[in-house]
Structure 1
């Protein structure tokens, strides 16, 4: 009987040390998993930020087409004027400049920068 009690005490001491060791390993594993999860969350947030706003691409395409459209229209109009009036290359030059100015104006108008005044700071 005494040996059974000694065996029980020895087993319970081993069980307690094994439990403490397992608890310590579990705690370290939880810490590592927590750091990995937070790192993954940070990477996911960074990836979302780098993707950007899809509507920004649409705005950029619209603004560039407004600008290029003005220049192309001016160039075509100048070529037509030169062709029928015989004023080669002056019609093309003048209308290309007017097309450029119209393209810049359309660009500013489309981006809502035309007609806005800076806020006065007091």
Structure 2
């Protein structure tokens, strides 16, 4: 003899599960939050692209002026500096977003505490 579940209890459980899922769901319009891996890859790409662009400019100027390694090295260093500056700007932007999100969650009262 098999025990069949009580349909009323199942409906009550489903309602509780939906309530928990809705409470955990993000509100609409908050924008996309990036994972740490996505931000890390963005920073790596910014740094390497700065170095490669600087190297390309340096190589092109060396080829044009016939001063083979000098301008290549100088512009690779410039590209590295530009990449570092861009990475720092990205990190600062991500920190500001995180601080804004934290201050927003602290400013919002918890559900059910309205008086």
TM-score (structure 2 length as normaliser): 0.50
Q: Which has the higher helix share?
A: 1
Structure with higher Rg: it is 1
TM-score (structure 1 length as normaliser): 0.47
